[in-house]
Structure 1
Amino acid sequence: MPGIVLLSKERPTARHRVEAALMHTAGRGVVTGFEAARRYGLRQVDPHGTVHILIPEPGHIRSAKFTIVERTIDMPERRVLEGVPLAVPARAVLDGVRRIREVEPVRALLIESVETGLCSVGELSAELESGSRRGTALPRAVIRELEADVKSVPEAAAIEIWNRAGLPPAERNVKIYDAHGNYVGKPDSWCDELAMAWEVDSYAHHFGRDAFRRTLHRNNRYAAAGICVVQTLPSRIRDEPDKVIAELRAAAEAAAQRPRPNVSMGGSSERAA
């Protein structure tokens, strides 16, 4: 990493940081990373306050206290928003996450960038393949999740927990029907081999009279169909993964010991309550 140069003894505002960073690069730089992502409207950005600037090779401008200067032979196309030159969204987002070493914030920003329509999974994948490979292990893993249609951080974490538990394969968000073709439910994870459902139920989506009533009806349908169901709060996946794994394994063992109920994925008739 280039040496650090103190530009100012005062604590600069976000606008002053960007202006100073661009002045520091003599107008040759393009803002990328978290500052660019924030200016594109993303919220899941790291708040450390540095400005990541790309400049073309060759160059001898050094990083400063709140400015990360990165020399590159692959200067991105620029977009100018409110007078500030920004790297295109896919490049900006990836330049930010490849400096993170924890999977959850990487997931959060990449998922937000896709779900908001800022960039597509294909654009992220193409940018990842064309750019530097430094720090890309986590982004690559998350992009594989996105290619598998994972739409949220809890969903991605749940897939990871299920795989760690060593259970038979599970489908996500598939509709389950009983022997008569009646709709039973659409679990977050469904192990067809065991006829076992796993629901990751948050307070946000299940709090309130109507939501609670729907959850009770859903669980009653599972019970009537003979389906083994595990319910888990998203916070426990993050805070108590080993306990959640133990609960899933115990439920899977119980499900394997009883005759499999006559339920299936898909069906000719659907009757959602």
Structure 2
Amino acid sequence: MRPADPTDEQRLRAGLLRGGERSMITGLWALRRHGLRQLPEPDDVHLLVPHEREVTSSGFALVERTTRLPTALTRDGLPVAPVHRAVLDGARRIRDFDAVQAMLAEAVQRKRCTPEQLDRELSRGSQRGSALPRRALQALLGGAESVAEADAWEIWKLSGLPAAEWNVSVFDREGGYISKPDAWCEDVAFAWEIDSRSYHEDGDHFAATLARNARYSAAGIICLQTLPMRLRTEPGKVITELRDTYATACARPRPPVTCRP
């Protein structure tokens, strides 16, 4: 009788047994344990172990000896690395930029770590495999909170327009809340919204989008709406629209609105 293949849980526990005392799971399996979803399918069980322990990789256990062993967190009964360490340990072994960007963006968007934590970890850790996560991190440090916003950040940078602020709240002259645009150009009160058709055409979301646009109009704010897919399929046209809309905003008196982080 052929024995059954081990379950994922059995593989994780077997890996920890090989790692020994103070070892912990990192990378994609750790991120799954933290509840993140925008991940490639995990394979090897990536382990962090104290540097002085003479244990090597074997089979499905990928052992990484480190002098920078973080404090483990317990998730569903198993010790795992904190998100800012686990996401970079995983990202360094991935060669798909979109996958790396999605992982980092989800970790930040769901407030499991901050861009600053990722930046510190990236500078202190191994530089092997760091090029893609370093590139993906730039948009997050600039204020982007999602993959679509990271794409928009790259487009804005190529447009040559003055620097924008990302995800700041905008208020009218009486202090009433207007919106939190994806990108905001303070000098001319110009808002850029990356609006997913599937999200904004859905029931309550559609009504909320109409109400938001009405608040922009009433406050004298010029807003450009762009579908996320166009950031990659029509970047040149989007850049032209940004420049033209910015010029329109420059041509009218700036309305009395303010922004706050």
- TM-score, scaled to structure 2: 0.75
- Measure, in 1, the Cα distance between the counterparts of 2:93 and 2:101: 13
2:72 to 66, 74, 78: 78
Query: 2:45: which partner in 1?
Result: 51
In structure 2, relative to structure 1, the CA distance for the partners of 1:263 and 1:184 (3 Å cut) is: farther
Query: 1:263: which partner in 2?
Result: 255
Is the Cα contact below 8 Å between 1:21 and 1:53 reproduced in 2? Answer: yes
In structure 2, relative to structure 1, the CA distance for the partners of 1:239 and 1:115 (3 Å cut) is: same
In structure 2, relative to structure 1, the CA distance for the partners of 1:73 and 1:176 (3 Å cut) is: closer
* SS of alignment partner, residue 234 of structure 1: coil
- Measure, in 2, the Cα distance between the counterparts of 1:86 and 1:186: 35
Is the Cα contact below 8 Å between 1:192 and 1:264 reproduced in 2? Answer: no
- Measure, in 1, the Cα distance between the counterparts of 2:162 and 2:56: 54
1:136 aligned to 2:130? yes
2:63 to 65, 69, 88: 69
* SS of alignment partner, residue 229 of structure 2: helix
- Measure, in 2, the Cα distance between the counterparts of 1:171 and 1:81: 36
Deviation at 1:44, TM superposition (A): 2.3
Query: 2:160: which partner in 1?
Result: 166
Contiguous gaps of at least 5 residues in structure 1: 1-7, 268-273
Deviation at 1:225, TM superposition (A): 6.6
Is the Cα contact below 8 Å between 1:30 and 1:78 reproduced in 2? Answer: yes
Q: 1:86-144: CA deviations, max 9, x gaps?
A: 23333222211222334443333334334444444454344333322222334344445
Deviation at 1:21, TM superposition (A): 2.9
Deviation at 1:153, TM superposition (A): 2.5
Contiguous gaps of at least 5 residues in structure 2: none
1:187 aligned to 2:181? yes
Is the Cα contact below 8 Å between 1:226 and 1:261 reproduced in 2? Answer: no
Q: Which amino acid aligns with 1:72?
A: T
Deviation at 1:214, TM superposition (A): 4.6
Deviation at 1:33, TM superposition (A): 0.7
Deviation at 1:52, TM superposition (A): 0.9
Q: 1:161-201: CA deviations, max 9, x gaps?
A: 111122232233442658x9987765332334555432211
Is the Cα contact below 8 Å between 1:177 and 1:185 reproduced in 2? Answer: no
- Measure, in 2, the Cα distance between the counterparts of 1:100 and 1:264: 47
Query: 2:34: which partner in 1?
Result: 40
Q: Which amino acid aligns with 2:243?
A: R
- Measure, in 1, the Cα distance between the counterparts of 2:146 and 2:138: 13
Is the Cα contact below 8 Å between 1:14 and 1:49 reproduced in 2? Answer: no
For the pair shown, which has the larger CA radius of gyration, 1 or 2? 1
- Measure, in 2, the Cα distance between the counterparts of 1:81 and 1:213: 39
Aligned-residue sequence identity (percent) comes to: 44
Query: 1:271: which partner in 2?
Result: none
1:175 aligned to 2:170? yes
- Measure, in 2, the Cα distance between the counterparts of 1:187 and 1:162: 14
Q: 1:67-86: CA deviations, max 9, x gaps?
A: 32223333333344445332
Query: 1:18: which partner in 2?
Result: 12
Is the Cα contact below 8 Å between 2:19 and 2:55 reproduced in 1? Answer: no
Deviation at 1:215, TM superposition (A): 3.5
Is the Cα contact below 8 Å between 1:174 and 1:265 reproduced in 2? Answer: no
